[in-house]
Structure 1
Amino acid sequence: METGFTKWIIVVTVVLCCLLELIDTSIVNVALTQMMGNLSATQQEVSWVVASYAIANVIVIPMTGFLAEQFGRRNYYFASVVIFTLASMACGQSTNIWELVAFRFIQGIGGGALMATSQSILIDTFPPKQLPLGQALFGMGVIIGPTIGPTLGGYIVDNYDWPWIFYVNVPVGILASIFTLTFIRDPERIKNAIPRPLREIDWAGIFLLILGVGSLQYVLEQGETKDWFEDPLINFFTACSAVGIIGFIWRELTAEKPIVDLRVLGKSRNLAVGAFLSFVLGFGLFASIFIFPIFTQRILGFTAAQTGFLLLPGALASGFMMPLIGRALQAGIPQKYMIPVGFIIFFFFTFWMSGKISPTAGESDFFWPLMVRGVGLGLIFLPITTMSLAGLQGKDAGQAAGITGMIRQLGGSFGVAIVGTYLERSLAQNRNSLSANISLYNGETVQRIQAFTQNFMSKGFPLEQARQQAYAALQGILMKQTSLITYSQIFTALGIFFLACLPLILLVKRVKVVGKISMDAH
């Protein structure tokens, strides 16, 4: 157990690494168009820059407990920081799209370890009574990282060039590497652990994990681009994910020394419920951060930097809430009371946002709803995390951290995939519904076209060209109205999803002493 200056240096190190990992899940999104031009890539090819990182992440996260035990947690953490830093430099140096995709995959391998391992380091760094504070600091990175990614990315793309979204990782990575070697120590249980011989490693479990989760992540990342099950490759990887996941579950439940011990889910009902709630949290966190920039940039004409700065106060509100929630937990307020409040606040955010969707909305209209979102997510994340790991010790806690981290990541991928698909298909359906009311036999339609035509003629356009411009203007109004209805529906649906998950809180057992949370976690 560390104290004083060393403890806070460790905190700074792991929170920075956690932030880096999560920022890189979203920072590239605002730079994809520039990458397409500079690397002569198509839209489909450049989408792999995002997908490769996510696939590597979701494969590595559940294995972090085993890898920390096998190689020593400090060694594994240091190697992961180095891999992430070197891959970031290589990404910026890439000369073609497939080089960039390959280095992003390697970056994802290094980054995947930073989440679960950072959490376990904080657990071992803080004494029992201060554990909620340690978890709160970790939560700041989880909530703030995906939100400030577009902000930072938008600023860099607007003022510099896309390689700098990777170069900014390098100095932080170097500093984190030095601090890791200097200040982080393995607890006695890891120092004394005997690594498994190669023949005893669960190679079948590793293969099935890569096949199942990797294929599922590919389907979620690429499904909308390839029109889902109309594409043979999506069908193939869907089958691979089903075979891999079913085989992985069977293998890990029956193997003597599994790579990911799923039996830990049966040891704690709170962990099982917490795992599902982590999925819901990931779904809401990433889906809302995905759809809002699309709306502001496509419909309202905001720049990437404008959108990013608009999201920043809400992210900071989440960060501000974390220590307060940690103290509340430390004071004995049950998680099962906080989580429903967070869900209801998040629902209020989505309901408020659905009412704010309009063609005249400005930055000030979204400030307070996004602040409410930040408060709601703060009330959800920390109670779920502490509840999930409470009462688990040693290897069980390390496995639980990896499982919940993977499920939260998959929840985010499902959220983005489902919302993206819903957006495109609802746009088409709503457009067809509204188009039924527009006809040359409709008096209001004719009057609107005539008014537009007269307006364009008054600006010097000849009659035929003015009429064509009038039709185009009417089509533009139709498309904008369709978009507004669709985005409003999406926010409402997100809120209903959160409300529908509320009954799960009834399954949570009260944890009386927060300070006993998995002190022996990996």
Structure 2
Amino acid sequence: MTAKAPGKWLITLSVMLPTMIEVLDTSVANVALEHIQGSLSAGQDEVTWVLTSYLVANAVVIPMSGWLSRMMGRKRYLVASVALFTLSSLLCGAATNLMQIILFRVMQGIGGGGLQPVSQAILLETFPAKQRGMAMAIFGLGVVMGPIFGPLVGGWITDTWSWRWIFYINLPFGILAFYMCSAFVQDPPYLKRAKKGEEVDVLGLALLSVGIGCLQIVLDRGQQDDWFASTNITVMSIIAVSALSFLVWWELRHKNPVLDLRIFKSGSFSIGCVVMFLGFFAFFGSIVLLPMFLQGLMGYTALLAGLVLGPSGAVVFIFMPIAGKLTERIDARWILSFGLLLCSYSLYLMAGFNLNIDFFSAALPRAIQGAAMPFFFVALSYLTFAYVKNNQMNNASALYNLLRNLGGSFGTAFVTTLLARRAQYHQNILTEHMTPLNPIYQLRLSEIQQALTAKLGPLSDHLEEARAFLYQELMKEANALAFNDAFYIQCLIFLCLVGGVWFMKKPPIKVDEE
């Protein structure tokens, strides 16, 4: 289906509007947790379920979106999702206790889960094969910029008005999206609706819900609960692995599966999904780490940290359409390789951070990463879907977006765990040198004692205060080295992915459409 120019852009705006607000909502509530906790009189551990409940519901629905589109009709499912997302946003803002907001966040996650894959499928079908790179550039603006701007928007709204407005702000956009999707989006003739009386894959639905739901909880709460030292995490991990393993076996044998895994027979699609998973694994890890480094170790305020992160959003906005146009003229594998190398270089610079870096040194690698992500995301999406036929697009998009989201979740869990483990390792190494036998340590200790004596007076030798100060400095240095390790591993991941790109098929000049 190729729409005429006016219709093409109206459809694009119709599907991207709800997608952008849904992506923002995956991270916008993070900075408002303390305000929600105080307002609803919730415990610190309890209030994190405001985030977890949304992520779990979202993760469960994403892979089902292709099947739900076939059962309900894609337009009907899209409009229903927008309506549910908008209504639940209103209810989240009006919640009066913790249980209510968790319930409404589950509803919001269910409504929002299908928006990304369905929007991507519609865009890929709406644009001609030659312009699919531009379609993915438009889609990428929402997907890549959401995690960047979500915390900034959430913090500004919370400080300016209240935490309830991070949900209320969705209402005008949701209503407009509901009207536009109803008016401009149509189901294509080749999209086959489920036949009346067709067998529903009930077991597949159950396995998918349980497996993905448990997996997302494990990833979101694993580090907080000390991973497999927690009985709950261990049990949920076993359930997730068992359910998902059985799901693969079951879906490959079912006539009308919830997830049609046979599409992984396509080599380019399979490689593209792996690259996307690992790419977002490393990308989300750096998004989590950089603010922690700046605010936790460098002492940056939230505003100053935002100024370091913010310009990358503008860079993404500039380069996304450029990357889209380049796919029409250059083999997308070269564009993707360039994006991966640039991502790797940005993380290499971050791996060289120390506790004395200036503002420019902190902002430059983030800006380079902002320039790299459009070439990575647009070219990879273009290559991955190059040989996917239109009647398979819903299912392919659901799987692709599932692996992208899981990559981000795995990446976040990995770097937070790695950071804690490596900080402990470096602390142990550095502590070995804090002995009276080390002349450098003794010299530094003496200098601090003299400085404290000059400031506080000679009534005490201030030895204990000097040792405490040095230990605090050691802890900061150990944590800084742990951040370096985490950034370096992410750098290597992007570098290794370059080789996999060239196992993907060269994109065709024309894609067969059905």
TM-score of the two chains, using structure 2 as the length reference:
0.95
Distance 1:217 1:196, change over 3 A: farther
Structure 2 residue 341 is the aligned partner of structure 1 residue 344: yes
Structure 2 residue 451 is the aligned partner of structure 1 residue 450: no
2:275 to 252, 274, 277: 277
Deviations 1:298-322 (A, max 9, x none): 1122233332342222122223222
Listed as ranges, the matches of 1:162-201 within 5 Å are 162-190=163-191, 193-197=192-196, 200-201=199-200
Question: 2:261 is matched with which residue?
Answer: 262
Deviations 1:411-464 (A, max 9, x none): 101100000100111111111111111123433333323322332232235644
Question: 1:323 is matched with which residue?
Answer: 321
> In the aligned structure 1, how far is the partner of 2:193 from the partner of 2:407?
35
> In the aligned structure 2, how far is the partner of 1:289 from the partner of 1:299?
16
Question: 2:408 is matched with which residue?
Answer: 412
Deviations 1:159-185 (A, max 9, x none): 232222222212111111111112222
Q: 8 Å contact 2:33–2:47 — kept in the other structure?
A: yes
Q: 8 Å contact 1:151–1:311 — kept in the other structure?
A: no
> In the aligned structure 2, how far is the partner of 1:54 from the partner of 1:105?
8
Question: 1:120 is matched with which residue?
Answer: 121
Question: 1:308 is matched with which residue?
Answer: 306
Gaps in structure 1 of 5+ consecutive residues: none
> In the aligned structure 1, how far is the partner of 2:55 from the partner of 2:64?
15
> In the aligned structure 2, how far is the partner of 1:440 from the partner of 1:337?
57
Classify the secondary structure of the residue corresponding to 2:456.
coil
Question: 1:235 is matched with which residue?
Answer: 234
Distance 1:465 1:61, change over 3 A: farther
> In the aligned structure 1, how far is the partner of 2:203 from the partner of 2:432?
56
Question: 2:211 is matched with which residue?
Answer: 212
Classify the secondary structure of the residue corresponding to 1:351.
helix
Number of residue equivalences: 513
Deviations 1:232-261 (A, max 9, x none): 111111110111111110111000110110
Q: 8 Å contact 2:338–2:375 — kept in the other structure?
A: yes
> In the aligned structure 2, how far is the partner of 1:460 from the partner of 1:247?
68
Classify the secondary structure of the residue corresponding to 2:355.
coil
Distance 1:313 1:215, change over 3 A: same
Structure 2 residue 404 is the aligned partner of structure 1 residue 376: no
Q: 8 Å contact 2:208–2:243 — kept in the other structure?
A: yes
In structure 2, what residue type is equivalent to 1:516?
V
> In the aligned structure 2, how far is the partner of 1:235 from the partner of 1:197?
42
Distance apart, 1:78 and its partner CA: 0.9
Q: 8 Å contact 1:88–1:169 — kept in the other structure?
A: yes
Q: 8 Å contact 1:154–1:308 — kept in the other structure?
A: no
Question: 1:510 is matched with which residue?
Answer: 506
Distance apart, 1:465 and its partner CA: 8.4
> In the aligned structure 2, how far is the partner of 1:198 from the partner of 1:145?
40
Distance apart, 1:30 and its partner CA: 1.6
Q: 8 Å contact 2:57–2:110 — kept in the other structure?
A: yes
Q: Which has the higher mean CA deviation after the structures are superposed, 28-37 or 370-379?
A: 28-37
Distance 1:439 1:104, change over 3 A: same
> In the aligned structure 2, how far is the partner of 1:83 from the partner of 1:117?
15
In structure 1, what residue type is equivalent to 2:270?
A
Question: 2:492 is matched with which residue?
Answer: 496
Structure 2 residue 463 is the aligned partner of structure 1 residue 486: no
Identity of aligned residues (%): 34
Q: 8 Å contact 1:321–1:378 — kept in the other structure?
A: yes
Q: 8 Å contact 2:72–2:193 — kept in the other structure?
A: no
Deviations 1:1-38 (A, max 9, x none): 43344432322232222211211111122222222332
Deviations 1:263-305 (A, max 9, x none): 1111x11001011011012212211111111111111222333
Question: 2:36 is matched with which residue?
Answer: 35
Structure 2 residue 133 is the aligned partner of structure 1 residue 132: yes
Deviations 1:133-183 (A, max 9, x none): 222111111111111111112222332322222222121111111111122
Classify the secondary structure of the residue corresponding to 1:372.
helix
Question: 1:74 is matched with which residue?
Answer: 75
Q: 8 Å contact 1:221–1:413 — kept in the other structure?
A: yes
Q: 8 Å contact 1:155–1:305 — kept in the other structure?
A: no
Question: 2:350 is matched with which residue?
Answer: 353
Q: 8 Å contact 1:44–1:225 — kept in the other structure?
A: no
Q: 8 Å contact 1:63–1:260 — kept in the other structure?
A: yes
Deviations 1:44-65 (A, max 9, x none): 2222222211111111111111
Question: 1:99 is matched with which residue?
Answer: 100
Question: 1:428 is matched with which residue?
Answer: 424
Q: 8 Å contact 1:354–1:492 — kept in the other structure?
A: yes
Q: 8 Å contact 1:156–1:165 — kept in the other structure?
A: yes
Question: 2:455 is matched with which residue?
Answer: 459
In structure 1, what residue type is equivalent to 2:511?
K
Structure 2 residue 382 is the aligned partner of structure 1 residue 386: yes
> In the aligned structure 2, how far is the partner of 1:201 from the partner of 1:216?
24
Distance 1:430 1:76, change over 3 A: same
Q: 8 Å contact 2:190–2:391 — kept in the other structure?
A: no
> In the aligned structure 2, how far is the partner of 1:446 from the partner of 1:161?
51
Classify the secondary structure of the residue corresponding to 1:501.
helix
Classify the secondary structure of the residue corresponding to 1:99.
helix
TM-score of the two chains, using structure 1 as the length reference:
0.94
